[in-house]
Structure 1
């Protein structure tokens, strides 16, 4: 392993990247679950509470995502040789997909906040599985580093 990837500051940056990836994924996993509960509820008070929860969780998800991306970019700046590895290109493409998924979650929070949801709970259940597929693919790429 190259010396620069084992330096103490680099280890801190990687550790913080992982912490904020976990934070980001918590929101990516749980927001669609709140949408399902919302779509299935006939109770106005419950829907109002779910709207508050969705907005707050979206804020935490924004923070986790922004910091995960920040520490990931910082890693690439400190170890630019990663950019020459094919597995990283695939990981970055998947991360862009996650950013798009995150943006769509924000759109859905707005729709639910305005009581304009058009998606069924069944559709939302399938949609809820998308980040798990991204997570599996990203972890496999990072750990196995296929060429």
Structure 2
């Protein structure tokens, strides 16, 4: 799951992010099932209403899908709460994800890779704060 705005993702990235977020939602709704140790679950679990937080995240992905003419089934979102509070994400995390996405796009969609800006915006569920790569990020160089 990406912290950066879904507009930067290619079709494959957007679809994969949707599927991963649905799996994360399942873990939050029914604890003990699925990939319970997914590193990104930490930030959703830390919210006052984790299911609403992942619902807001999924709704942001569905909004981007709508803009592209795709049809994501919003009925799969357990609790779509646009009023869930924004979640802090560090600038270091966004920069890390931007580099990671740039490498993926260079391999599978070079035309889209050249359009990726040097500084990316966050997914609407997140608000940027100063700081390094998040502690839960497993792919980060340490």
TM-score (norm 1): 0.33
Q: Which structure carries more relative contact order (alpha carbon 8 Å, separation 6+)?
A: 1
Higher share in helix? 1
Higher share in strand? 2
Query: Which is higher, the Rg of structure 1 or of structure 2?
Result: 1
TM-score (norm 2): 0.34
